[in-house]
Amino acid sequence: GPCGGTGMCLTRSRGVVSDYAGSGGALAQVLGACASRGTGGLQAALESDGGILRGAAAVALGTSAARSGSGADRGLVSALGDAAGREIMRLVAVIDGNAERAHSLSASIGGPGVLVNHRETGAGGVHLLRRVSTFDAIVVGDQFSDMTVDQILAAASLDGSDTPIFLISSNEDTADAYSDRVTGVISDLDDLSELDAVFEANLTGDRARADDLSRRAAGVLGDLAQSGADIRAALSGLTQPIGHRPDTVTLAALGALASAGTPAQVEAILAVVTDEDRSDAARAAAGRALAGICGRYDVGGDALAGLIAVVLSDSALSVRTAAAQAAGMARLEGGERAGLVGDI
């Protein structure tokens, strides 16, 4: 049958498994959907050095364990946490001879999930573009001592890729001269809206597959937690993506944290609930995660104050309802609860 044939592909040889991470990951996903128990090939893949293959095997083994109710050992749970929390970076190249401006821009856009590579010379920038071909955006300044802006723009678009290219210049004449050769012009560092589309775009290729693996790993951890398995070894990994990853990953991670989270994750989850820039779906899921934690632990007054602020805000009804549910689950004395109800 299909499972037997696929199982033969994931051999016990660690070297063979690691050499075929892409196909091995796909085969592991097939096994996870149909195998009634873990196979030798999946166990070998779980012990491999390749992060993607190891994560795919963990998802397959975890899926089987959740389906059969057989439980999951700490090694499997830890591998699932690693897959859920793996950082997936967006890459931005900043080529600008104005070092102060470039550093300011890099500080503004750099952070969790974004890696900025800066080069102060045109030659250094061109070398960077030839060495790394997976940038999500290229930002080119208007001040260089060794090359012209024309030369750098030509190098940036040489391979015919659709990578967005932005010019950074406060000079209107310069901006007009190059406006037809770039995706957009950044004239004021206080307004980086031109880059919004870059960070909102869906990931593609290997990073999209890694993102989906994170989602599936978090979902499996949620299933294991609901089946009674101990997933404490994965809680750090589950907390990692909720701050800046897409909702597909964030919602799955928050679902697992609702079942198994502890007070150690409250601060990170509360930050999602109270962030008005996050989607209503993510904020509501974070509220439900806090409700689960509040039902199991005493989380303290700071979290309760944050939840009440959301309940009394003009946020979407789904968000306020989830926050109210979390506040209602808090462990309070009778007088404290009466005061809480009065405030609301």
pLDDT tens digits, 270-299: 999 999 999 999 999 999 999 999 999 988
Low-confidence ranges of the chain (pLDDT < 50): 1-21
Predicted confidence at residue 70, as pLDDT, reads 76
β partners of residue 92: 116, 137
pTM above 0.85, yes or no: no
Tokens standing for residue 191: 């307004």
Residue 184: helix, strand or coil by DSSP? strand
What is the phi/psi pair of residue 183, to 5°? -70, -35
Predicted confidence at residue 37, as pLDDT, reads 57
What is the phi/psi pair of residue 114, to 5°? -130, 125
Strands (E), 120-215: 137-141, 165-168, 184-186
Predicted confidence at residue 337, as pLDDT, reads 65
Instruction: Give the closest residue to 301 by CA, choosing from 339, 247, 261, 246.
Output: 339
Predicted confidence at residue 119, as pLDDT, reads 96
